Amino acid sequence: AVVPVESGGGSVQAGGSLSLSCVVSEYTARSPNSCVAWFRQAPGKEREAVAAIYTPTGNTLYATSVKGRFTMSQDTAKNTLYLQMNSLKFEDGGMYYCSGSRPTPDPERCIRGDDSGFGPWGQGTQVTVVS
């Protein structure tokens, strides 16, 4: 897939879990010196990175709001990114996207700042957390 294809979203009770998947292009999955990341966009808010992998090191980075609850992984053989989300909170709801970045020497760029430098973007998958 040239454009990422996200799946696995749905409606879940607070405290529950969801597992998201995203098929990306081979270029995105294997691009060196870049990031692959999951983003979340809540209604009326900017898209923000919640989890990322910096490809030169394989290290994962997480937004403070999800650290300890979300786990990102990837299977480069399948060009697929995963996001395991546990202990979901109401504020975790939103549209979830995955994407890859342009090359960057700064791993923090994977998780900080805006979504400029990332692309392309797919349709996303909706996550709704209900109480």
Whole-angstrom distance, CA of residue 91 vs CA of residue 76:
30
Whole-angstrom distance, CA of residue 62 vs CA of residue 24:
20
Whole-angstrom distance, CA of residue 11 vs CA of residue 19:
12
Q: Report the pLDDT averaged over residues 87-91.
A: 97
Whole-angstrom distance, CA of residue 90 vs CA of residue 12:
10
Which residues make beta-bridge pairs with 21?
Answer: 7, 82
Q: How sure is the predictor about 32, in pLDDT bands with cuts at 50, 70 and 90? A: confident
Task: Flag whether pLDDT at 69 surpasses 70.
Answer: yes
Q: What amino acid is encoded at 105 in this protein?
A: P
